[in-house]
């Protein structure tokens, strides 16, 4: 397993993976590591695509992924990947997509364990009332990501 670090507008991201795919992408609040200069082709591809996303040049990712989790968690993460760029859905809507509205708490828990920050867009899931709830990377990052993906920027009226 290889680990690299890259700079993003939201902090240093740690990417982990190997030839089987990207296992984990996470954002760190503090780290004393410099961005990685040399890495494997698969991690370099992930780093490049993340940079394109943050530069506003990419809306989807084309990477080999290998997240570790239960079968249920993987189903939730797959469903998250179908949420279009610039759109949000509620935890309740996500539960309905997965076929069990009563599983909302389990769906929310699996969403919170998403190991592929940004690539599997768990930040696109919000509360039923439109509130920004439950984001492991911090609500300030969730807000930034949703604003970054919003194709229509609100202008002030005054």
Q: Which of 13, 122, 145, 146 is catalytic?
A: 122
Per-position DSSP letters for 99-141, written without gaps between them: T-GGGHHHHHHHHHT-SBTTTS-GGGEE-TTS-----TT-HHH
- Whether 122 is catalytic: yes
Rounded Cα gap, residues 124 and 120, in angstroms: 9
- Give the ranges where 36-125 is alpha helix by DSSP (H): 41-54, 71-80, 91-97, 104-112
Coil, helix or strand for 119? coil
Rounded Cα gap, residues 19 and 43, in angstroms: 9
The phi, psi pair for 89, rounded to 5°, reads -135, 165
Per-position DSSP letters for 53-76, written without gaps between them: HHTT--SS----B-----HHHHHH
Instruction: Write out the catalytic residue numbers.
Output: 122
């Amino acid at each position: 397993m290889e680990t690299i670090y890259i700079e993003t507008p939201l902090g240093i991201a740690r990417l982990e993976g190997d030839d089987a795919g990207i296992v984990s992408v996470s954002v760190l609040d503090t780290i004393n590591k410099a961005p990685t200069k040399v890495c494997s082709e698969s991690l370099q591809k992930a780093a490049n695509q993340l940079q394109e996303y943050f530069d506003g040049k990419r809306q989807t990712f084309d990477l080999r992924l290998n997240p570790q989790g239960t079968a249920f968690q993987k189903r939730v993460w797959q469903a998250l990947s179908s949420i279009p760029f610039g759109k949000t859905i509620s935890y309740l809507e996500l539960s309905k997509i997965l076929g069990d509205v009563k599983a909302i708490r389990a769906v929310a828990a699996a969403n919170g364990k998403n190991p592929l920050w940004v690539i599997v867009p768990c930040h696109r899931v919000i509360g039923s009332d439109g509130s920004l709830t439950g984001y492991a990377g911090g609500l300030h990052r969730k807000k930034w990501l949703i604003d970054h993906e919003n194709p229509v920027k609100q202008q002030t009226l005054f």
